[in-house]
């Protein structure tokens, strides 16, 4: 069979066998080259490995790859199979045999290097008595480089049979270069976008974004800047509406952890069973509705920061579970047995008097000391009245942006704001200004639009059809008479919670005991029922 094929092609038996063997060798080498190129999109890493495969499996030695410098347009030596090759070699168009391909991209072959006077051998690796093959590396119709090799033996009459194989390798290299360039460009765009977003976020949540020039706020900023550099646990304390979350943002985005996530959770917003799943995650089938495994906030915050707002509302039973994570940095998901270790920086916040809660047995002493490593106390707005005008202007700009119009506030209105004691702090100030903005048709907020609705001015609750319930609705005078004044069980839920708070002097822990709730549960009711908490 081989003889018949050889005679059909006009070749001898020996030549046919050599050609057939070369093709089999090339097929194996081509497969090995494709495997190398498919392992990585970093062509700078893979091209040297391709040259090694060509030498070991295809008998093509002294492999060299030059790439086009996009700035100068010259060919620059990139990869050489010989370890002792000279670096930093460049070829201009028409310079030497390599430069010929830059001038006119085409395959160049030499049966013997010594017979070509234009061959420069700048790299010093090529043998004068061996053949030479150089092929263009293209991306589309654009020349991106040159692949040059030497067969390991003098011309054996099969030089032209080796050329298509080298050209195929050059084409594969071109595809690898194209893909790697696309990936590199996309990666560069993503990195640029990420860095831009980081700069924006750092500016938006930096210390400069927290308004306040009073001495009390300057102390807060100094403490926050110092602690931001370390992984120390921070406990931010202050009344509701003083900006505890803003300080937590500033600490995280000015810390070494700013490259990773800031994950937030309001501990008062969830019942205990959901709080555990939300923080620690759960495994599939852990409870009804757990159709798949889910990471908790601790895992989401790995390498970053976890902000636990309203930490004082966590029940004593859950406090023990939380303490273990803070001490050991490990936990198990709900329904799981695998211990998960995390690296998380904790920033907690509360408006409660935790020392009093510890004395009353509502808060674990060991958890308090674990959280209270670096306490930062935020002053109430009434303690820094000098900041009110600046905060008001900042909020007016924010509200104007939301309403897509320009708002201005008069000096008289600012003086009126500075005369108020702000029991609801900055949150109350923002609500006040938003109401004024709504009432201002032309966008100017003057003193007549600055109003401070009292808690007592809320509409009376809608009467129930039940005569007994209607008689049980507390009046302002009766609400201070003591727990026995009102039958709480007969009231609708919102009025029942308000009545308990009135009877408890607006101390949530006491009101919770009147209602048979935990402090966290009554805090959740206050939030969901939209009850404005009175501050004393």
Does this model's pTM top 0.75?
no
Can you give the pLDDT at residue 7? 46
User: What is the per-residue pLDDT across 174-201, written as a single tens digit (0 to 9) for each?
Assistant: 887 777 767 767 777 777 776 666 666 6
**Domain 206-379 part of CATH 3.40.50.300:** yes
Checking if the pLDDT of 486 tops 70, the result is no
Q: Compute the average pLDDT of residues 424-432.
A: 91
Can you give the pLDDT at residue 506? 83
Can you give the pLDDT at residue 454? 58
Confidence of residue 389 (pLDDT cuts 50, 70, 90): very high
Residue with the bigger pLDDT between 185 and 421: it is: 421
Lowest-pLDDT range of 12-21, 230-239, 462-471, 525-534: 462-471
Lowest-pLDDT range of 80-94, 214-228, 450-464: 450-464
CA distances from 151 to 81, 310, 341 (A): 14, 75, 56
What the block records as the tokens of 178 is 């194209």
Would you call 40 helix, strand, or coil by DSSP? coil
Can you give the pLDDT at residue 352? 92
Q: Compute the average pLDDT of residues 476-486.
A: 38
Distance from the Cα of residue 261 to its chain's centroid: 5
* pLDDT more than 70, % of the chain: 84
Confidence of residue 387 (pLDDT cuts 50, 70, 90): very high
The values of phi and psi at residue 109, to 5°, are -130, 145
User: What is the per-residue pLDDT across 18-73, written as a single tens digit (0 to 9) for each?
Assistant: 776 777 778 888 888 888 877 766 666 788 888 888 988 888 998 888 888 878 88
Can you give the pLDDT at residue 83? 62
Q: Compute the average pLDDT of residues 414-427.
A: 91
Going by C-alpha positions, the residue among 511, 516, 224, 239 that lies closest to residue 353 is: 239
Measured distance CA(496)–CA(474) in Å, rounded: 9
Can you give the pLDDT at residue 68? 86
Q: Compute the average pLDDT of residues 441-452.
A: 90
Confidence of residue 15 (pLDDT cuts 50, 70, 90): low
Q: Compute the average pLDDT of residues 85-90.
A: 71
Name the E strands within 29-114: 60-68, 75-80, 90-91, 108-110
What the block records as the tokens of 31 is 């497969």
Distance from the Cα of residue 99 to its chain's centroid: 47
Exposed, middle or buried, 127 (CB in 10 Å: 0-12/13-18/19+)?
middle
Can you give the pLDDT at residue 45? 73
User: What is the per-residue pLDDT across 265-318, written as a single tens digit (0 to 9) for each?
Assistant: 999 888 877 888 899 998 888 887 778 888 999 999 999 999 999 999 998 888
Residue with the bigger pLDDT between 6 and 111: it is: 111
The values of phi and psi at residue 74, to 5°, are -85, 165
Checking if the pLDDT of 246 tops 70, the result is yes
Name the residue ranges covered by the structural domains of the chain: 2-183, 206-379, 382-452, 462-528
Lowest-pLDDT range of 290-299, 348-357, 469-478, 496-505: 469-478
Can you give the pLDDT at residue 178? 74
Fold classification of 382-452 (topology level): Helicase, Ruva Protein; domain 3 (1.10.8)
Residue with the bigger pLDDT between 468 and 514: it is: 514
Residue with the bigger pLDDT between 242 and 79: it is: 242
Residue with the bigger pLDDT between 286 and 330: it is: 330
Q: Concatenate the DSSP letters of all residues of 387-405 into one string.
A: GHHHHHHHHHHHHHHHHTS
Checking if the pLDDT of 536 tops 70, the result is no
Can you give the pLDDT at residue 151? 92
Confidence of residue 256 (pLDDT cuts 50, 70, 90): very high
Share the mean pLDDT of the chain. Answer: 82
Kindly report the CATH class assigned to 2-183. alpha beta
Can you give the pLDDT at residue 310? 93
The values of phi and psi at residue 3, to 5°, are -65, -45
Can you give the pLDDT at residue 58? 86
Can you give the pLDDT at residue 34? 82
Checking if the pLDDT of 478 tops 50, the result is no
Measured distance CA(444)–CA(437) in Å, rounded: 8
Confidence of residue 252 (pLDDT cuts 50, 70, 90): very high
User: What is the per-residue pLDDT across 124-176, written as a single tens digit (0 to 9) for each?
Assistant: 888 999 999 999 998 878 888 899 999 988 888 888 888 999 999 988 888 87
């Amino acid at each position: 069979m081989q003889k018949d094929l050889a005679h059909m092609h006009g070749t001898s038996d020996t030549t046919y066998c050599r050609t057939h063997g070369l093709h089999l060798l090339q097929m194996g080498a081509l497969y090995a080259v494709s495997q190398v190129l498919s392992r990585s999109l970093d062509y700078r890493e893979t091209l040297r490995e391709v040259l090694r495969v060509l030498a070991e499996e295809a008998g093509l030695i002294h492999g060299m790859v030059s790439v086009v410098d996009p700035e100068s347009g010259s060919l620059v030596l990139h990869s050489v199979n010989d370890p002792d090759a000279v670096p930093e070699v460049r070829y201009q168009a028409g310079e030497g045999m390599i430069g010929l391909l830059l001038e006119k991209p085409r395959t160049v072959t030499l049966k013997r290097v010594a017979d070509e006077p234009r061959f420069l051998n700048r790299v010093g690796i090529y043998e004068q008595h061996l053949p030479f093959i150089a092929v263009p590396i293209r991306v589309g119709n654009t020349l991106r480089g040159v692949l040059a090799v030497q067969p390991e033996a003098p011309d054996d009459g099969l030089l032209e049979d080796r050329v298509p194989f080298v050209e195929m390798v050059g084409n594969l290299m071109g595809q690898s270069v194209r893909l790697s360039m696309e990936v590199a460009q996309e990666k560069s765009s993503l990195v640029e976008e990420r860095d831009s977003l980081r700069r924006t976020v750092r500016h938006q949540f930096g210390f400069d974004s927290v308004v306040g020039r009073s001495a009390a706020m300057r102390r807060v900023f100094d403490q926050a800047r110092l602690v931001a550099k370390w992984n120390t646990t921070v406990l931010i304390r202050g009344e509701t509406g003083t900006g505890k979350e803003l300080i937590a943002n500033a600490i995280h985005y000015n810390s070494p952890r700013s490259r990773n996530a800031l994950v937030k959770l309001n501990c008062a917003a969830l019942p205990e069973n959901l709080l555990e799943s939300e923080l620690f995650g759960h495994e599939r089938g852990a409870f009804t509705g757990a159709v798949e495994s889910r990471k908790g906030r601790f895992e989401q915050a790995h390498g970053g920061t976890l902000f636990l707002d309203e930490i004082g509302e966590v029940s004593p039973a859950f406090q023990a579970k939380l303490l273990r994570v803070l001490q050991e940095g490990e936990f198990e998901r709900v329904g799981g047995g695998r211990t998960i270790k995390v690296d998380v920086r904790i920033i907690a916040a509360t408006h409660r008097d935790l020392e009093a809660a510890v004395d009353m047995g509502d808060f674990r002493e060991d958890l308090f000391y674990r959280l209270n490593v670096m306490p930062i106390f935020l002053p109430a707005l009434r303690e820094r009245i000098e900041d009110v005008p600046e905060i008001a202007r900042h909020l007016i700009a924010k509200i104007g942006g939301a309403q897509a119009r320009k708002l201005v506030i008069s000096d008289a209105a600012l003086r009126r704001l500075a005369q108020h004691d702000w029991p609801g702090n900055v949150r109350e100030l923002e609500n006040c200004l938003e109401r004024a903005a709504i009432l201002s048709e032309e966008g100017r907020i003057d003193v007549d639009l600055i109003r401070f609705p009292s808690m007592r001015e809320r509409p009376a609750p809608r009467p129930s059809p039940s005569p007994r319930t209607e008689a049980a609705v507390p009046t302002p005078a009766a609400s201070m008479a003591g727990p026995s004044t009102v039958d709480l069980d007969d009231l609708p839920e919102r009025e029942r919670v308000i009545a308990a708070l009135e009877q408890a002097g607006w101390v949530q822990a006491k009101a919770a005991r009147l209602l048979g709730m935990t402090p966290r549960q009554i805090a959740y009711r206050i939030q969901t029922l939209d009850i404005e908490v009175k501050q004393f």
